[in-house]
């Protein structure tokens, strides 16, 4: 692979800055805190960091509501602090990706403050404005992901504006070419500073249907997927018109042309559509995004059949595109709890990190996954997430995966801050703190460091093709092949030992040589059968 392709097969470590490390004792993580922990991040063997939004914001959605795309919110530090972070990361060999939230702004952004004043100002058409129906109701039936209608009345214009998320996050009108250029200019500001990549939030939400057609209803059995349960009315519609419009493809090509002027940069798009795998394939075609990821593995289904179907479906649909897989992020319940069979298991956590790092594609690893952190329990009175507050108690929001990183259990607030944190440190997570695991050679953290180092020396795992085999539950079995070398990868997804005979699948001619230097609970090949321990893994070179 050329130097241009650093992102292909990369391990990308996601940092949620509010909860990573607090350097100034105000209870909120910041950029200098991240800089101080970059040596630790580099020790994980990852290739890049992705930093969630740190831009100027009223923080109604914790930075995903941007009021100034070109500056750092004082809560997180200064622009100079970011430059120091960037320099330190590059010194350690880490690429730096930043979140870009292009589809909407904060209602405090000067674009919107001007646009909302009247229908004739210079930015009057920069947002999605629409007249009410004759009876004064919103122009159509579109819904907000965060609950309720997606239209908010503005009395100064006597019109509604669209918000796919919070009402304080008005949607930009990307049908306006001036809006497109302004957002590209904002992106280029950071490219000029030397960032290596962009994570594009909700990138398929940039365009809306100009005819404002109603979304059709879903039948009850269709109301599932992508984290929207039946208690959220958003699940009741097929979202055909409020996002994922064909005009977005041309904008992605404009964005890619900009990135191509800055060698060694890459774009990763977050995609949530009615058919996210198809959209991923379409958005990662040549000349568009370098990578795409969806919520398909951020669900509750962790069966071997589901994982196989998800990855294989993308492989069938993609031409030359490249996926990025993740099992956790800042929006979903941590996988150690979500995919636990009864009680969370350290061995399962080790296996899941290995599994996602063995799929064809790049990987986003959310902070704390290397520690096996489980979902934190946050009482209602301490909730911060407006999504969780609105849907309590059926849905408790996203705070449980956003609690502070536990660094040292002997320090106040587990070493995250000297001040009471913005979210409480989970008491159970202290037992998985960084210093405690660094001191234990058999810990999940130490194992992940060994595994990521081993993976970095396996071209087949980083860049190889993938092929799945027909196996019964709970066994997931696939091969990765690159330049004539094939690695067989097997995962027992259950808490019980299983026995498997390789001759039951069509591996073709050749001999298996078991690989054991990856530091995991390895299956054994004895008398022609593979014996998997609970949550065991199996890597073997297939020599033809």
User: Dihedral (C-alpha) 113, 115, 117, 122: value to the nearest 10 degrees?
Assistant: 120
In total, the chain counts a number of residues equal to 544
Domains, the chain:
3-105+175-454 (3.20.20.80), 464-543 (2.60.40.1180)
Tell me how far apart the alpha carbons of residues 354 and 274 are, in angstroms, rounded to a whole number: 29
- Residue 506: pLDDT above 60? yes
CB atoms under 10 Å from CB of 30, counted, come to 26
pLDDT, mean of residues 382-390: 92
Q: Which residues are catalytic?
A: 201, 270
Give the per-residue pLDDT at 380. Answer: 95
pLDDT, mean of residues 490-511: 88
For residue 406, give the nearest of 429, 378, 372 by alpha carbon. 429
End-to-end CA distance of the chain: 24
Partners of 49 in the β-ladder: 13, 96
- Residue 227: pLDDT above 60? no
CB atoms under 10 Å from CB of 194, counted, come to 14
Q: Mean pLDDT for the chain?
A: 95
- Residue 195: pLDDT above 80? yes
Tell me how far apart the alpha carbons of residues 374 and 161 are, in angstroms, rounded to a whole number: 39
Give the per-residue pLDDT at 1. Answer: 44
Can you give the pTM of this predicted structure? 0.96
Do residues 265 and 290 touch, judged by C-beta distance below 8 A?
no
Q: What is the pLDDT of residues 8-57, one digit of tens each?
A: 999 999 999 999 999 999 999 999 999 999 999 999 999 999 999 999 99
Give the per-residue pLDDT at 511. Answer: 83
Give the per-residue pLDDT at 3. Answer: 47
- 166-177 burial code (b ≥16 CB/10 A, e <16): bbbbbbbbbebe
pLDDT, mean of residues 436-461: 96
């Amino acid at each position: 692979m050329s130097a241009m392709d650093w992102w292909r097969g990369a391990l990308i470590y996601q940092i949620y800055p509010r909860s990573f490390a607090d350097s100034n004792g105000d209870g909120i993580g910041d950029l200098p805190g991240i800089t101080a922990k970059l040596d630790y991040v580099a020790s994980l063997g990852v290739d890049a960091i992705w930093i969630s939004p740190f831009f100027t914001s009223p923080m109604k959605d914790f930075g995903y509501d941007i009021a100034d795309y070109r500056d750092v919110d004082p809560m997180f530090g200064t622009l100079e602090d970011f430059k120091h972070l960037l320099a330190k990361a590059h010194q350690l060999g880490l690429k730096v990706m930043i979140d870009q939230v292009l589809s909407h702004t904060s209602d405090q952004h000067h674009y919107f403050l001007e646009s909302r004043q009247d229908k004739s100002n210079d930015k009057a058409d920069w947002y999605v404005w629409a007249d009410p129906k004759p009876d004064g109701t919103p122009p159509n039936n579109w819904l907000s992901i965060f609950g309720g209608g997606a239209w908010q009345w503005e009395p100064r214009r006597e019109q509604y504006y669209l918000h796919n998320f919070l009402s304080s996050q008005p949607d930009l009108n990307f049908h306006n070419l001036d809006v497109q250029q302004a957002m590209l200019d904002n992106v280029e500001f950071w490219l000029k500073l030397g960032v290596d990549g962009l994570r594009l939030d909700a990138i398929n939400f940039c365009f809306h249907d100009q005819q404002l057609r109603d979304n059709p209803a879903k039948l009850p059995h269709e109301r599932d997927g992508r984290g929207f349960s039946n208690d959220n009315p958003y699940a009741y519609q097929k979202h055909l018109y409020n996002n994922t419009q064909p005009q977005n493809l041309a904008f992605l090509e404009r964005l890619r042309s900009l990135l191509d002027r800055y060698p060694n940069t890459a774009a990763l798009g977050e995609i949530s559509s009615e058919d996210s795998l198809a959209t991923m394939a379409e958005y990662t075609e040549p000349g568009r995004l370098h990578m795409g990821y969806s919520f398909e593995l951020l669900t509750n289904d962790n069966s071997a059949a589901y994982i196989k179907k998800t990855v294989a479906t993308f492989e069938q649909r993609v031409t030359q595109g490249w996926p990025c897989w993740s099992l956790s992020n800042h929006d979903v319940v941590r996988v150690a709890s979500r995919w636990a069979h009864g009680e969370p298991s350290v061995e399962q956590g080790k296996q899941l990190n290995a599994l996602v790092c063995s799929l064809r594609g790049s990987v986003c690893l959310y902070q704390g996954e290397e520690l096996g952190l489980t979902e934190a329990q946050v009482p209602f009175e301490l909730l911060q997430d407006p999504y969780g507050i609105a849907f309590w108690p059926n849905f408790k929001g996203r705070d449980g995966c956003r609690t502070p990183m536990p660094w040292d259990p002997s320090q106040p607030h587990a070493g995250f801050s000297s001040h009471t944190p913005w979210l409480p440190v989970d008491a159970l997570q202290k037992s998985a703190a960084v210093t405690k695991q660094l001191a234990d050679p058999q810990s999940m953290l130490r194992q992940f460091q060994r595994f990521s180092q081993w993976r970095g020396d396996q071209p087949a795992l980083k860049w190889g093709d993938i092929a799945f085999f027909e196996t019964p539950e709970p066994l997931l079995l696939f091969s990765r092949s690159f330049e004539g070398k094939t690695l067989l990868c097997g995962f027992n997804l259950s808490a019980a030992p299983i026995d498997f005979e390789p001759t039951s699948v069509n591996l073709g001619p050749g001999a298996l040589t078991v690989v054991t230097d990856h530091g995991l609970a390895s299956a054994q090949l004895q008398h022609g059968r593979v014996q998997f321990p609970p949550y065991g893994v199996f890597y073997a070179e297939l020599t033809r």
